[in-house]
């Protein structure tokens, strides 16, 4: 049965939400906490994809490329742990002060301070790490040393770790 047939049969005109999405709505809400959590996880996904591409493109006979690929692969473990911590921060924030909009109301801000901005900054740092990983990939393709870009990715991940630690202290 096609999608249109299912929609007509349901009578709602809207596809039903998948159970996973409903669970996430309950855990993180649909507002600012969910937005920042999702943005962080999208940046982590981009990093994973880029690290995988670097691993696939790195030549085994080039120690510089191998070193960069290994460094980026190791960072994926750190980012996985950070993703879990951001999930927990968003879950706690939503449980404590649910926000359905993308703007944190003044009475909520009095409770959470700059938590939303801190979550945004952590996501930005992971996105910058993904960009640095992409630069490492570009260096491999150009035949230049990819290790400096891989080190920069590591620096952004460490900055993201510190940002998440600050979030956890505030939350």
Question: Rounded to two decimals, what is the model's pTM?
Answer: 0.83
> For residues 86-124, b (16+ Cβ closer than 10 Å) or e, as one string?
bbebbbebbeebebeeeebeeebbeebeebbebbbbbbb
What residue numbers bound the domain in which 23 lies?
A: 1-27
Same-domain check for residues 13 and 44:
no
CA distance linking residue 151 with residue 148, whole number of Å: 5
Same-domain check for residues 137 and 78:
yes
Same-domain check for residues 19 and 75:
no
Question: Nearest to residue 58, comparing CAs of 162, 149, 164, 171?
Answer: 149
Same-domain check for residues 49 and 95:
yes
Predicted confidence (pLDDT) at residue 2 exceeds the cutoff of 50? no
Structure confidence by residue, pLDDT tens digits, 133-162: 999 999 999 999 999 999 999 999 999 999
CA distance linking residue 129 with residue 149, whole number of Å: 9
Same-domain check for residues 61 and 107:
yes
């Amino acid at each position: 049965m096609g999608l249109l047939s299912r929609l007509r049969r349901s009578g709602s005109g809207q596809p039903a939400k998948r159970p996973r999405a409903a669970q996430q709505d309950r855990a993180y809400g649909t507002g600012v906490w969910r937005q920042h959590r999702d943005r962080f996880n999208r940046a982590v996904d981009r990093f994973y994809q880029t690290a995988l591409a670097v691993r696939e493109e790195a030549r085994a006979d080039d120690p510089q490329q191998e070193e960069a690929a290994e460094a980026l692969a190791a960072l994926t473990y750190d980012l996985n742990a950070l993703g879990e911590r951001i999930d927990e921060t968003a879950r706690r924030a939503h449980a404590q002060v649910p926000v359905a909009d993308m703007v944190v109301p003044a009475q909520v801000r009095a409770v959470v301070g700059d938590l939303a901005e801190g979550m945004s900054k952590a996501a930005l740092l992971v996105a910058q790490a993904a960009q640095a990983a992409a630069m490492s990939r570009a260096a491999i393709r150009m035949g230049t040393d990819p290790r400096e870009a891989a080190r920069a990715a590591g620096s952004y991940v460490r900055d993201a770790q510190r940002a998440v630690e600050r979030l956890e202290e505030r939350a």
